[in-house]
Amino acid sequence: MTRSPGTPRTRGGVRRWIPAVTGALALAAGLLTVGAPTASAASLTQVTGFGSNPGNLAMYEYAPDGLATGRPLVIALHGCLQSASDYHGHSGWAQFADQYGFAVVYPQTNSTNNVLSCFRWFDSSQSTRGKGEALSVKQMVDKAVAQYGSDPRKVFVTGLSAGGGQAANLLADYPDVFAGGAVDSGLPAQCATAQGGASGCQNSSQNLSPKQWGDKVRNSYPGWTGSYPRVAIWHGTADTTVRPVNGTELRDQWTDVRGISQTPSSTRNLTGGTTLTSYNDPDGKPAVQLYSISGMTHGLAVNPGSGTGQCGATGSYYLDTICSSYYTAAFWGLDGSGGTTTLPAPTGVSVTGTTDTTATLGWSPVGGAASYDVYRGGAKVGSVTGTGFTDSGLTAGTGYSYTVAAVDSAGTAGARSTAVTATTTGYTPRCFTANNYDQVGAGRAHTSGGYTYANGSDQNMGLFNLFTTHTLKETADGYYVISDSGC
């Protein structure tokens, strides 16, 4: 629910005023509320004894049965007035943990830390390396890596809203721990270091250059000389709680840290009114991606369903637009793609018409596709910008197998569709060369008055004997013509 500044709140029988403009409540107004379905206790388990826990957080974890060692680990931070189970039940991360094989840790804060259970991204005592909540999360990583034998080179962090702001801080604080991150409706790393600066970060531009934003990251761990994490940024264009300028500032911050240009390497449209802008490293691999969702307000982008690229459950501030977890997992390479986000396979591929020499196909559009490649029997036979294609020059009465792949604006083809078979109409001509005696014996010709005639056309083939040879071409079932000059 949305509380305006100064709205009274009753707690413990006492009416208290909760000023939404204070830093401690900076992400409270209009933020996430509990009340949607949560994960079962059998799926989500609380872990204690994971360290000194200076941030006073709770640790919850989810891992698929039979999880192998050496698999990735994802840390997922909820938003204000949320819980670990709420985030687990809506975000879609459990689905991809099962599908791709990795463990998920859900840190959980509480109302003792912050009256609205927000992670304290705006408090330097909680958001810097070796301190408070940041250190508690690092201790959870250590615990999970030891418990599951996770690959310490493949640890990732994501968060929503206040959790997104804290996720950005963690990426800056611990580039030696996290290989990548995602900030959903969140804020740049170290945008505010005290409560008084929180509201300004949420609501307006800080008017900093990319280098100044990058310096906030570099100053979070001054001794670091290695590479920095890859970062995905998700933001709705209609977000009035954390203004969209935060997405732009995050882009400036992390491209500067990675030493790459703020000029996009590629731009493409995805489902749900989403525009994906990628910024590649010198090897041509996306290092920073900005997902801007047209018309989306404040929350986490989900897209319930069983189709490719769908996930999650809707609820308060879980908004049905696009499955952010799917694309983030692909960006990190958790799907085995190597970290290059490719388009899903087209669905609805069908044969819409055939003739004796052509086959026409149609399919459903794929968000973000600039064109489509069509394959016959595994070989590419065409590329079109629409959702239909006619293949020509085919043989009558013959079956052909087709698949289709969507291609993004950078020319990268995605997964191929399920194959469909098109069978052309008409009859496939066949030719038979034999003497007249054998042609009659095979039922391709008949005799009359000592002469031989082709069945169907009744063309005269000469005397009925073993010494006259012709080639007969069957142009329709049971219809033969003389074709001695070539078949």
By annotation, the residues acting in catalysis are: 161
Kindly report the number of other CB atoms within 10 A of residue 478's CB atom. 10
Classify the C-alpha dihedral 362-363-367-368 as positive or negative.
negative
Laid out side by side, the sheet with 230-236 consists of 45-47, 58-62, 103-108, 73-77, 155-160, 180-184, 230-236, 286-293, 274-280, 266-270
Q: What separation in angstroms does the CA of 439 have from each of 112, 163, 436, 447?
A: 97, 84, 5, 10
Helices (H), 322-474: 324-332, 436-441
The pair of structure tokens assigned to 447 is: 């005799």
Strand-pair category, 371-376 with 399-407: antiparallel
DSSP 158-223: EEETHHHHHHHHHHHH-TTT-SEEEEES---TTS-SSGGGHHHHHHS-----HHHHHHHHHTTSTT
CA distance 62 to 1: 28
Which contiguous run of DSSP H or E holds residue 448? strand 445-448
Q: Which residues pair with 231 in a beta bridge?
A: 181, 288
The pair of structure tokens assigned to 191 is: 């945008």
* Closest by CA position to 334, among listed 187, 182, 186, 217: 182
The pair of structure tokens assigned to 38 is: 């949560």
- Per-residue burial over 59-93, b if 16 or more Cβ lie within 10 Å, else e, is bbbbbbeebeeebbbbbbbbbbbbbbbbbbbbbbb
CA distance 360 to 380: 15
CA distance 285 to 258: 12
Exposure of 370 in the CB half-sphere (CA atoms within 13 A): 13
3-state secondary structure of 249: helix
257 close to 249: Cβ distance less than 8 angstroms: no
